[in-house]
Amino acid sequence: MTTTSIPRATSEPIIEVTDLHKSYGGRAVVNGVSFSVEEGEIFGILGLNGAGKTTTVECIEGLRKPDSGRIRVAGLDPVTEHKAVTNVLGSQLQESDLQAKLTVREALELYSSFYARPLDWKPLAERLNLTAKLTTRFGGLSGGQKQRLFIALALIGAPRVVVLDELTTGLDPRARRDTWELIEDVRDSGVTVILVTHIMEEAQRLCDRIALIGQGRISALDTPSGLVGRTAGSTVISFTPSAPLDNESLSSLPGLTDVEYKNDRITLSGSDETVNAVISLLVRSRITAHQLRVSDATLDDAFLDLTKS
C-alpha cells in the first residue's frame, strides 16, 4: 500500500473488547459485547440501524467512555491512554466531513502535522488516485474522491489498526468496488481493518470474520461462510414440475428445511444433499423440472435469519 514499517503480528489480539456496556438516558445501547480482533484481518461489524455498531467502535476509538467493560487496542486503554491509542489507530467516522474550501493538499498536510512520524503523503495520494486532485477543494470532490481522501487521512499516521465506518454508503457501484479494492490493499499492507457496514455484499467479499450485533449484543460471530452455513436453508432449489409431485415425497427429502408452493412453482430450502435427492426424485418420477434454479444462501439470508427477533 505504502512505504511504512508495519509491526509484526503477535500471538495476542490487536483488539480485545470484554463485556462492554454503554447506555444513553437509561437505555442500553451496548449490552455486554465481547470480541477480539487478530492482527492483519478485516473484521466486520454488522447490524441494523441502532443496533450499537457505531457506539461500539467509538468506544474502541476512545471517542466515548464505556459505562463498564474492558477495551484494549494494542494493549492500550483507549480512555486512559488515548493519546497513545491515536498513534496506533486511524479512523474514518460515519459522518466524516471537512471544511469545503480546504484543498486535498491542505488536508493531507494538516493531518500529517498531527503525528510525530507520519507517512509521506505524496505516494499515499498517488496510490489513492488523488494526485491530480491536490489543488481541488473538498467541496468540489465527488463522493468516491472524498472517500479516498478519508482513507488517506485515516492512514497518514501509519496506524496498525484502521476503523472504517459505513465507508461506501451512497457510492455508485463502480466507486464502491474501487473502494473495496483499496480496503484489500490496506489489509495487504499489514494494517488491521475494522469495517462497520450494512452492505452484505461488501462484508461477504472483504471480511475474514464478522460480528452480527443486534439490540446491543453479539448475536453471531463467525466467518462469512460460517454465518451463511447457519441459515435455515443454505441452498435454495426452485422449479416448475411438468407434472404434480407427491407432497409426502418432497417433505421427506434429506436436509429439507422448508417447502413453498406458489402457483405451479415449488421452492425448496435445504442443503446440497437436498439438491441431489430432489434431482433423483424427479428422474425416478420421470418429471421435468422447468426453469430449474439452484442458489446458495447469501450473507443477506444469514443476516435476516440470525437477527430476527
Give the span between the Cα atoms of 199 and 175, in whole angstroms. 14
Best CA proximity match to 49, nearest among 29, 69, 22, 34: 29
- Across the chain, mean pLDDT equals 88
Mean pLDDT of 16-41: 95
Give the span between the Cα atoms of 193 and 184, in whole angstroms. 9
- pLDDT tens by residue, 203-231: 999 999 999 998 899 999 999 988 887 77
Domains of the chain and any CATH numbers: 15-222 (3.40.50.300), 230-308 (3.30.70.980)
Give the span between the Cα atoms of 149 and 157, in whole angstroms. 14
For the four alpha carbons of 226, 205, 55 and 84, in that order, the dihedral sign comes to positive
- pLDDT tens by residue, 249-290: 899 999 888 899 998 999 998 888 999 999 999 999 999 999
- pLDDT tens by residue, 135-194: 999 999 988 888 889 889 999 999 999 999 887 777 788 878 888 888 898 899 899 999
Q: Does position 302 have pLDDT exceeding 70, yes or no?
A: yes
Mean pLDDT of 87-104: 87
Q: Does position 8 have pLDDT exceeding 70, yes or no?
A: no
- The full DSSP string for the chain is --S--PPPP-SS-SEEEEEEEEEETTEEEEEEEEEEE-TT-EEEEEE-TTSSHHHHHHHHHTSS--SEEEEEETTB-TTTTHHHHHTTEEEE-TT----TT-BHHHHHHHHHTT-SS---HHHHHHHTT-GGGTTSBGGGS-HHHHHHHHHHHHHTT--SEEEEESTTTT--HHHHHHHHHHHHHHHHTT-EEEEE-S-HHHHHHH-SEEEEEETTEEEEEE-HHHHHHTSS-SEEEEEEESS---HHHHHT-TT--EEEEETTEEEEEE-HHHHHHHHHHHHHHT--EEEEEEEE--HHHHHHHHH--
Would you say 212 and 307 are in contact if contact means Cβ atoms under 8 Å apart?
yes
Going by pLDDT thresholds of 50, 70 and 90, the confidence category of residue 2 is very low
Going by pLDDT thresholds of 50, 70 and 90, the confidence category of residue 112 is very high
Q: Is the pTM of the predicted complex or chain greater than 0.85?
A: no
pLDDT higher for 206 or 10? 206
Going by pLDDT thresholds of 50, 70 and 90, the confidence category of residue 296 is confident
Would you say 15 and 36 are in contact if contact means Cβ atoms under 8 Å apart?
yes
Would you say 48 and 32 are in contact if contact means Cβ atoms under 8 Å apart?
no
pLDDT higher for 246 or 13? 13
